[in-house]
Amino acid sequence: METESLFWKFVDLTTNAINSKNIEEVKQFLDRAMAGAIYKTAKAAGRPNNPFRVWEIVRDFMGKEISHYWDHYESLSEFTHPNAPGVIDSYVVFNWETLTATFGINVDKLGAFPSLTLLIGSIRAFILKYDHSAELLTKLTPICELLLETQQPN
């Protein structure tokens, strides 16, 4: 979902660039996505020090594009990050009266169907956006080539 969100944002910015004949937002996006770093030596190494916080794109961009996208992301994050709801509660059943723990999949809390449905939907949406991006890139290329021809050397 994180890769999908970054890609959707890229496609959206590409569409804007084609419509406005201005690629500056696309350039800034690619700089941040490909070279952004938060560590202190990033600036000294000539890298931009303003990377994306991908969860912000998931929340602020995709969350507005697709209803409940952020909710699904948060839900799946419980399984992909080592926290209690995602790890312990899914694989351990606590009995607080007897102070025992039973290990194994907690069938009441973990099911494949919601996660699988989200994954399939996400993959299908990504394929549609990917196919559309090929069309956009053929339209963006002449704009970039024109900018290269008219740009003065520094």
**Where would I find the H helices in 52-111?**
54-57, 63-65, 69-80, 89-91
Q: What pLDDT, in 10s, does the model give residues 25-79?
A: 999 898 888 877 776 666 666 666 677 888 889 999 998 888 888 888 887 776 6
Residues for the chain: how many in total? 154
Query: What is the b/e burial string over 114-123, where b = at least 16 CB atoms within 10 angstroms of the residue's CB?
Result: eeeebeeebe
Q: What pLDDT, in 10s, does the model give residues 92-128?
A: 777 778 877 777 665 555 455 556 777 788 888 889 9
Q: What's the Cα-to-Cα distance from 25 to each of 9, 12, 14, 41, rounded to whole Å?
A: 11, 10, 8, 25
Unique residue bearing structure tokens 């993959």: 123
CA distance 23 to 107: 50
Helix (H) or strand (E) holding 100: strand 100-103
87 falls in which pLDDT band (50, 70, 90)?
low
